[in-house]
């Protein structure tokens, strides 16, 4: 199966570089390039790619708004790019539905891997981005409306809530399986149930939900 991708960045050299790297892969095809958010949205509508590699800061329409439109209208997965790991837009990008976040200085192999992971329906965050995301929840804690975990998460079993808490801590399925003394197959089932019952796209949104409901507290163990 070939992963079809649109590359959107307002810097031509950066855009061309990423496109060249990705298009050289036997299982990846760059179907279009875009120089701003509006062009990115138009390209996704026209070509219906599997993944949109999208810069956060762009003219005409920024990456956040473009991601919001693409995620709302299509099944295309969005992988965000930024120059700095302390980007103020990380939280908003993930809330918009982005499935991953990478730094622009990402290594060639890691870029290719990220596209494949996101195309397969998984989520991907650089460790520094995960730390930033948690810090963002901490700073917004006093302004977010309180949400009772018992209300939002009542549809989950105790095991599924435990699984959600571990997802929020960044644990992989293998690590969750070890911690809960379960098989990876069982953990995959729990993860799938969590996403389905809560109506979430992927693990990134699961992390957000865990913090917003108070199931996981910044700085805590989850």
Residue 107 to residue 130: CA distance in whole angstroms: 18
Under a CB-based contact definition with an 8 Å cutoff, are residues 78 and 67 in contact? yes
Instruction: Point out the least confidently predicted range of 1-10, 64-73, 212-221.
Output: 212-221
Q: Which two tokens stand for residue 194?
A: 């969590």
Please report which residue ranges of 74-183 form alpha helices under DSSP H.
Answer: 90-95, 108-119, 127-140, 149-152, 158-168, 173-180
Phi-psi region of 204 (alpha: psi -120 to 50; beta: other; left: phi over 0): alpha
* pLDDT tens per residue, range 1-12: 899 999 999 999
**Bigger pLDDT: 15 or 138?**
15
Residue 144 to residue 124: CA distance in whole angstroms: 25
Residue tagged 């891997």 (tokens):
113
Residue 215 to residue 209: CA distance in whole angstroms: 8
Pick the closest to residue 5 from 25, 30, 24 (CA basis): 30
Mean pLDDT of 106-116: 91
Average pLDDT, the chain: 84
Whole-structure pTM value: 0.71
> Does pLDDT of 141 surpass 80?
no
> Does pLDDT of 70 surpass 50?
yes
The confidence score (pLDDT) of residue 149 equals 56
**Number of residues assigned to the chain:** 222
């Amino acid at each position: 199966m070939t992963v079809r991708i649109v590359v959107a960045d307002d810097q031509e050299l950066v855009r061309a570089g990423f496109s060249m790297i990705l298009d050289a892969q036997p299982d990846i095809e760059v179907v279009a390039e875009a120089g701003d958010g509006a062009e990115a949205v138009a390209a996704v509508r026209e070509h219906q790619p599997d993944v949109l590699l999208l810069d956060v800061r762009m003219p005409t329409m920024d990456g956040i708004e473009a991601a919001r439109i693409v995620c709302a209208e299509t099944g295309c997965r969005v992988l965000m790019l930024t120059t700095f790991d302390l980007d103020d837009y990380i939280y908003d990008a993930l809330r918009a539905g982005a499935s991953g976040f990478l730094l622009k200085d990402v290594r060639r192999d890691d870029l290719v891997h990220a596209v494949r992971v996101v195309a397969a329906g998984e989520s991907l965050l650089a460790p520094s981005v995960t730390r930033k995301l948690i810090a963002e929840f901490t700073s917004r804690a006093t302004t977010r409306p309180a949400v009772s975990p018992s209300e939002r998460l009542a549809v989950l079993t105790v095991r599924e809530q435990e699984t959600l808490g571990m997802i929020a801590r960044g644990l992989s399925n293998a690590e969750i399986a070890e911690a809960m003394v379960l098989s990876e197959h069982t953990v995959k089932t729990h993860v799938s149930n969590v996403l389905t019952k809560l109506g979430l796209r992927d693990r990134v949104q699961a992390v957000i939900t865990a913090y917003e409901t108070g199931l996981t507290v910044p700085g805590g163990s989850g």
